[in-house]
């Protein structure tokens, strides 16, 4: 496979969340990314609007980034962009969300609850979009309600959200089929690692490419690169995903 990859969801920024514990680990994770063909990495530490003050989060993130930069090496590490994985909150649209987008682009990585379908999600998505921002729903395969009722995800994507699936799920028996079908039907468009630690090396984007999924990952990279470049994604049509007795179709 010739293309290089863009990883839009990582917890590599050291010491700010449950990701890289220290600078050494962060630098090693960046070298691992580059070594498996990932040339562009968004740093997306968790932000929980209901638990943490907005300005405090921005300052903490900025300090960690400024500490990382002098150690960054152009030859052995990917290009970086500052971003966040923003936990869903009904008060989100009151914030200056541009500060949380991927490299201050028009794309925001938005994390929903794993267990309960968020109330008022449609109106919050709309409020985000009214700020000119496209929400990218993070690791949708982890949301039980989407696995149970894929049409809930289909409807949100039809409203203009995009969806990200995790590399780990592409090789995991329990979620693989769901993720594949979502990518095939353009219900999900982006594949990212959500890497938190060194042991997850096998789940980096460049390391999960196989003959079986190469086309899918190449297509997902076109979307990820469009987000990175802050341009419109390739045209796509969202088709329904159905849950069946044996999986998804
Ligand atoms: Fe994450």
* pLDDT of res. 219: 96
Distance CA 93, CA 97 (A): 7
Look up the domain containing 33 and give its range: 5-248
Confidence category of residue 22, pLDDT binned at 50, 70, 90: very high
Distance 9 CA to ligand 1 centre (A): 6
Distance 62 CA to ligand 1 centre (A): 18
Confidence check: pLDDT of 186 > 90: yes
Distance 245 CA to ligand 1 centre (A): 30
Mean pLDDT of the chain: 96
Q: At what angle do helices 150-158 and 121-130 cross, to 10 degrees?
A: 30
- The CATH code of the domain that includes 193 is 3.20.20.140
Record the tokens describing residue 1, joined without a space: 């496979």
Distance 19 CA to ligand 1 centre (A): 9
Distance 194 CA to ligand 1 centre (A): 5
Distance 81 CA to ligand 1 centre (A): 15
Per cent of the chain over pLDDT 90 is 93
Q: pLDDT tens digit string along 38-80? A: 999 999 999 999 999 999 999 999 999 999 999 999 999 999 9
Total tally of structural domains belonging to the chain: 1
Distance 82 CA to ligand 1 centre (A): 14
Confidence check: pLDDT of 143 > 80: yes
Distance 185 CA to ligand 1 centre (A): 24
* pLDDT of res. 93: 86
**Phi–psi pair at 166, nearest 5 degrees:** -95, 145
Confidence check: pLDDT of 2 > 70: no
* pLDDT of res. 246: 83
- Say which residue, 212 or 2, is predicted with more confidence: 212
Distance 210 CA to ligand 1 centre (A): 24
Distance 90 CA to ligand 1 centre (A): 20
Q: Determine the 3-state secondary structure of 77 from DSSP.
A: coil
Confidence category of residue 87, pLDDT binned at 50, 70, 90: very high
Summarize the confidence of residues 11-25 as an average pLDDT: 98
Q: Determine the 3-state secondary structure of 169 from DSSP.
A: helix
Tokens 């090496």, residue?
A: 73
**Strands, E, within 63-172: which ranges?**
79-82, 85-87, 107-111, 134-137, 162-166
Confidence check: pLDDT of 209 > 70: yes
Residues ≥6 apart with Cβ < 8 Å to 28: 198
Confidence category of residue 212, pLDDT binned at 50, 70, 90: confident
């Amino acid at each position: 496979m010739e293309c290089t990859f863009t990883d839009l969801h990582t917890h590599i920024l050291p010491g700010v969340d449950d990701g890289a514990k220290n600078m050494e680990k962060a630098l090693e994770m960046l070298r691992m990314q580059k070594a498996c063909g990932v040339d562009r990495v968004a740093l997306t530490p968790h932000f929980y609007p209901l638990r943490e003050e907005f300005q405090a989060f921005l300052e903490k993130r900025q300090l960690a980034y400024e500490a990382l930069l002098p150690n960054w090496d152009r030859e052995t590490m990917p290009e970086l962009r500052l971003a966040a994985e923003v936990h869903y909150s009904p008060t989100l649209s009151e914030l200056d969300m541009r500060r949380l987008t991927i490299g201050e682009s028009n794309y925001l990585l938005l994390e929903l609850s794993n267990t309960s379908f968020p109330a008022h999600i449609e109106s919050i998505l709309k409020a985000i979009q009214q700020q000119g921002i496209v929400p990218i729903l993070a690791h949708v395969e982890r949301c039980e309600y989407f696995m149970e009722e894929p049409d809930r995800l289909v409807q949100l994507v039809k409203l203009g959200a995009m969806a990200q699936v995790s590399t780990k799920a592409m090789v995991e028996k329990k979620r693989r089929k769901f993720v594949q079908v979502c990518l095939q039907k353009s219900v999900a468009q982006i594949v990212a690692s959500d890497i938190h630690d060194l042991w997850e090396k096998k789940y980096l984007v460049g390391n999960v490419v196989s003959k079986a999924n190469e086309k899918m990952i190449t297509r997902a990279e076109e979307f990820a690169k469009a987000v990175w470049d802050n341009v419109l994604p390739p045209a796509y049509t969202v088709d329904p995903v159905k849950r069946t007795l044996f999986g998804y179709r």
